[in-house]
Structures are given as C-alpha cells and as structure tokens.
Amino acid sequence: MKTTKKIVAVILAALLAVACFAGCSKGNDADASNDNGTAAATDMKVGFIFLHDSNSTYDLNFINAADEACDALGISEKNRIYKTNIPEGNECYEAAEDLVDQGCTFIFADSFGHEDYLIKSAKAHPEVQYCHATGTKAHTEGLANYHNAFASIYEGRYLAGIAAGMKLNEMIDAGEFKADEAKIGYVGAFTYAEVVSGYTSFFLGARSVCPTATMEVTFTGSWYNETLEKEAANKLISNGCKLISQHADSMGAPTACENAGVPNVSYNGSTENACPNTFIVSSRINWAPYFEYAITCVKDGKAIDTDWSGTIATDSVLLTSINDKAAAKGTKEAIDAAKAKLKDGTLHVFDTTTFTVDGKKLDSYKADVDTDANYEADTEVISDGYFHESEFRSAPYFDVRIDGITLLDENYGS
C-alpha cells in the first residue's frame, strides 16, 4: 500500500510540474500577441450573446460575422467576449449584465426571445449600447441605447427566385413539361410575416422571368425538423412541383430534392456539397456590415439607428456562388442585372404592378408594425407604387396573400 501511495504521489507531482511549465510559456505568448494587437487598434470591449454555439448554422453565421467585423475594426480576441448557449430566459439578462461587468460597451444578442431580457439590461445601463437581431420592440420601447436590426433578405430571395424562374424556362424549353405546369413548391416553417415575405419575394422573382409560374406552399411548424421538411418537400414533388425552395434551417428539403432529382434553391448557405446535382443557388444574411457599422458608432460616440435594415447595397444580403451543373444558362447575368436595378432603386421587389390580391391591384395596406397583443394593423406601408418592406421597422411585416400562390396549409405554431 505504501508503494502505491508513493507512486501516485510521484505521478501527481510530475503532472503538476508539466502542467505549470506548459501553462507559463503558452500563457505568456498569448498575452504578448494580444497586447500588440490592442495597442495597434482599440481597447473597446464588445460582447455577443448567442442562442447556441458554432454547431448551429444560424449561430455560426453570426459568429463568423462577429469575427469578421472585429478583425476589420482591430478588436483583439481578448476584447471580444462570446457567450454561447444562452437560453431565451433570465440567463440572457444575466449574460448581458456579466458582459457589462466585464466592461463591454457594445452588446449584441442573436435570438428573437432574447429581446425582453436585453431590454431589461439596457434600461439599467444607459451608457452601454445594446443591439438585437430580428427583434421588433426598439421603435416602440423608446430607449436611446437599444436597437433592432435585420436585413432585407427578401431582396436576396427575389434574386434567388430569378434563378428558379430561369431554370423553369430551361425545363419548359427542353420539353420536360408545358409552360402552364411550371409549379414551384415551397417548404416554410411558420405562416407569419418573415416567411410570407420570403416566399412571396421568391415567387415574384421567379415569375418576373417565367410568367406562367405558380407556387404551392406548405408549413412544417418548426424552424428545424429534418424529417418534417423532407416529407413536406416530397409531398410537394408528388403534387407536381418542378422546383423546390425552403425557409427552414435543416437539410430536409435539399436532401429530398437531391434524391428525387428536382432542382432546389436553398437558404442560409450553400448546400452544394450535399446536393451537387440539384442545388442551384442560395441566399443568406451577412451580419458583418451591421456589426462594423454599430461598433464603429459606439467607438465614435455616434447614435446607432433604432431600426437598421441591411440591404443588398450594404452587402448584408448575399447569394452564394451558382452551381453551373444545375442552374440554367445565363442565370448569373440575369441576377447581376436585377441586382444592379435593386441597388439603384429602379426595381422594387414588392412593386404593386407585379401582383394582385383577389384579382385586384393593392393600393393601400395597413401592416402590424408595432408589437401589440391583438396584432392590430397600424401603419400604411404602400406608397409610390410599392410595398415598403423593412422600412418602418427592420423585421419583416409583409403578410399579404397574393394571387398565384396556394397555401396547402397554415401553421402558426399551435
């Protein structure tokens, strides 16, 4: 027994010594490099709150953008604090407060349910700037240090829709089906504005090049459910849809398309690796421009917009590279042309001359812009011949049912 104890003691001592030495040298290196970086740029501290970690594509998109923006602004790794796996509860408030304690002057949270808790922290610390993606309360809350942001992803979807329309035209020309059979299928998560705005803009983009296009939409009732999304896509394909797109976060729909050999326009990022034969193009939101803008404002002591909406012109909305194997010829040229028009303001996605509601042109529409319990429509959003999406607040509010799109079901999550 004594020998065993001695051996254990010796091993422990050795381990401790190794650990100490390794620690000292590495620690010093890291400090040195950090100090250099800080001296060159800024000593401002920024904090980010993420719902999950880099395993989630949604959060990864934010994390990458945060890194990109911090690198560009010279904020050292030491001065950017990323709190991951923060649930949408009091933990978010505690995380924000902890970031304030650590000296952050800019705090960002990425999930919708974080909003109330971020506001709670914002009220207590007027000297710290708080920014929140996808939220809706900044313009009614009246706090000088609390801000919402989103991006006009509908522009990206419109462009992706053009790629879809081109593909339909190509298939019609090849004699695969008749022009009046050009039906698109769309797998959505829930039947509310963010998704409605998305599928409508996608459809309008497709119809701008393929006038006979129609669309069927079905909802899964979940942001991430691979099985349901796959089943939904299969259902649409068997209904006769010639092309599928989706607004939900799993690989369900793209995989179903690859298996069935049906072209797919994706979302959140390229799915080309998994679907080399059917992936056409994908749109995504790029948050780096917003982070750079907001952090620069804090650094210079300027006010951040209460509602900031990134556009295609600010590079907040991006398309991935086009998969030439699946896309129709000339897709890139058509997208670039439309993109230039969107940028210079000659083209509007929700131009009221391009769609009808119940057979009539839409001249006036009140949208529910201010959050209230009864979902009362409160703001006139049509003027100058188009629906002003994401202008009265950053989060989408286009929820009009236009002609040509059939909803197979609706799902408000209950």
Window 35 to 54, contacts with other proteins (CB under 8 A) = 53-54
**Of the candidates 27, 103, 276, 330, which one interacts with other proteins according to CB under 8 A?**
27
In the bound state with other proteins, the residue whose beta carbon lies nearer, of 10 and 337, is 10
Shortest CB 202 distance to other proteins, Å: 19
Subset of 70-89 contacting other proteins (CB under 8 A): 77, 81-85, 87-89
Site string for other proteins, 175-194 (x = CB under 8 A): ---------------xxx-x
Q: Quick check: 182 and 165 in contact, CB under 8 A?
A: no
288: alpha, beta or left? (left if phi > 0; alpha if psi -120 to 50): alpha
Q: How far is the CB of 413 from other proteins (least distance, A)?
A: 5
Per CB under 8 A, the list member of 59, 110, 115, 229 interacting with other proteins is 115
Task: Tell me which stretch binds other proteins (CB under 8 A): 15-23, 166-174, 229-237, 349-357.
Answer: 15-23
| Least distance in angstroms from the C-beta of 50 to other proteins | 10
CB of 22 to other proteins, least distance (A): 6
For other proteins, the binding residue among 6, 7, 10, 12 (CB under 8 A) is: 12
113 binds other proteins (CB under 8 A): yes
For other proteins, the closer of residues 83 and 230 by Cβ is: 83
Residue 393 in contact with other proteins, rule: CB under 8 A? no
> Which of 33, 90, 356, 406 forms a contact with other proteins (CB under 8 A)?
90
Nearer to other proteins among residue 90 and residue 383 (C-beta): 90
Candidate ranges 112-120, 151-159, 232-240, 285-293; the one touching other proteins (CB under 8 A): 112-120
The 10 Å Cβ neighbour count of residue 315 is: 12
For position 414 contacting other proteins by CB under 8 A, the verdict is: yes
Q: Which stretch binds other proteins (CB under 8 A): 165-173, 259-267, 338-346, 406-414?
A: 406-414
Rounded Cα–Cα distance for residues 368 and 308 (Å): 18
Going by C-beta distance under 8 Å and a sequence separation of 6 or more, which residues neighbour residue 210?
A: 165, 166, 168, 169, 172, 182
Among the candidate windows 108-116, 167-175, 297-305, 329-337, which touches other proteins by CB under 8 A?
108-116
Would you say 353 and 382 are in contact if contact means Cβ atoms under 8 Å apart?
no
The residue among 13 and 337 lying less far from other proteins, judged by its C-beta, is 13
Those residues whose C-beta lies under 8 Å from the C-beta of residue 349, and which sit 6 or more positions away, are: 154, 155, 158, 201, 204, 205, 342, 386, 389
Encoded tokens for 281: 């193009």
Taking CB under 8 A as the rule, does residue 138 contact other proteins?
Answer: no
Q: Is the distance from CB of 350 to CB of 207 less than 8 angstroms?
A: no
Site string for other proteins, 336-375 (x = CB under 8 A): -----------------------------------x-x-x
CB of 390 to other proteins, least distance (A): 16
Contact 148, 393 (CB under 8 A): yes
Q: How many residues bind other proteins (CB under 8 A)?
A: 49
Q: Which position has the token pair 């691979």?
A: 226
Long-range (24+ apart) CB contacts under 8 A made by 35-39 are 37/74, 37/76, 37/77, 38/76, 38/78, 38/79
Segment interacting with other proteins (CB under 8 A) among 21-29, 149-157, 232-240, 342-350: 21-29
Phi, psi of 94 (to 5 degrees): -65, -40
**Contact between 346 and 339 (Cβ < 8 Å):** no
| Vertex 153: Cα angle to 150 and 154 (nearest 5) | 125
C-alpha closest to that of 225 among 13, 9, 24, 413 = 413
Nearer to other proteins, 90 or 238 (CB): 90
Using rule CB under 8 A, residue 58 touches other proteins: no
Closer CB to other proteins, residue 225 or residue 311? 225
- Interface contacts to other proteins, rule CB under 8 A: 1, 3-4, 8, 12, 15-16, 18-20, 22-24, 26-27, 53-55, 77, 81-85, 87-90, 94, 97-98, 101, 112-113, 115-117, 120, 136, 190-192, 194, 371, 373, 375, 412-414
